[in-house]
Amino acid sequence: MDKKYPAAYLFFSVAAMGAVILVSNELVQHPVQGVILGIDFSEVLTWGAFTYPVAFLVTDTTNRIFGARSARRVVAIGFAMGVGLTIVAALVVASGVSRATELSIWQALFYDPEALAMLRTAVASGSAYLVAQLLDIKVFDLLREKAWWKAPTASSLLGSVIDTAIFFSLAFAGTGLPWVTWAIGDFCAKLLMIALLLYPFKLLVRFYPRSLEVTT
């Protein structure tokens, strides 16, 4: 059964989700630079892989404390906020191009490579995010009664598989960029982040309900 959550938590979780999506949408367009042991990381990894898994932390924490219905609400609002902010950012870039040319903002949006990349990223990110997060919530709910680490691990793992496949195929297929190796490299980085975020998840689940008892 879902618990009623305070407005402050809703604001924090939605703000965190929106920020994660916006930042990740930008960072995923920037490959990691450097060569180690002959591996050129610019061809196998983007910076977005290190920020996006935080979205699963927000969703899973909400799901554990307040239930699946509340988690879906956070996902829906975060989706609208994150994708909306990314589209606004693309329009800002297009506006600058429009002022420097004779193109309208809408023409510049599809003419300027940076603005077009941001728009395509927003569509890809929104699609991948919504499917992956709803799957995450479903899997987490099924494993809710298991050991504390099983639900967030399994749900985040499966969600990351779906998110990575949908996002990179929609955002970069046909661009000539090494999106397949990016997808593989980013997924491996997400696995690392999922493991690292287990302890913060445990702390949030353990101490946040106590803070509610103190403030009520």
CA distance 16 to 9: 10
Q: What is the structure's pLDDT at 173?
A: 86
How distant, in Å, are the alpha carbons of 27, 93, 98, 112 from that of 102? 30, 15, 6, 13
- Tell whether 116 is covered by a domain: no
Q: Which domain holds residue 15?
A: 7-84+126-165+179-215
Q: What percent of the chain lies above the pLDDT cut of 90?
A: 39
Q: How many domains does the chain have?
A: 1
pLDDT (tens digit, 9 = 90+) per residue, 25-52?
Answer: 788 888 888 888 888 888 888 998 999 9
Q: Determine the average pLDDT of the residues in 148-152.
A: 94
- Tell whether 161 is covered by a domain: yes
Q: Residue 92 above 80 pLDDT?
A: no
Residue 214 pLDDT level (bands cut at 50, 70, 90): very low
- Tell whether 114 is covered by a domain: no
Q: What is the structure's pLDDT at 216?
A: 42
**Torsions phi, psi for 117 (to 5 deg):** -65, -40
Measured CA angle at 205 (ends 160, 198), to 5 deg: 40
CA distance 180 to 208: 39
CA distance 74 to 93: 28
- Tell whether 72 is covered by a domain: yes
* Cα–Cα nearest to 74, from 130, 25, 33: 130
CATH at 189: 1.10.1760
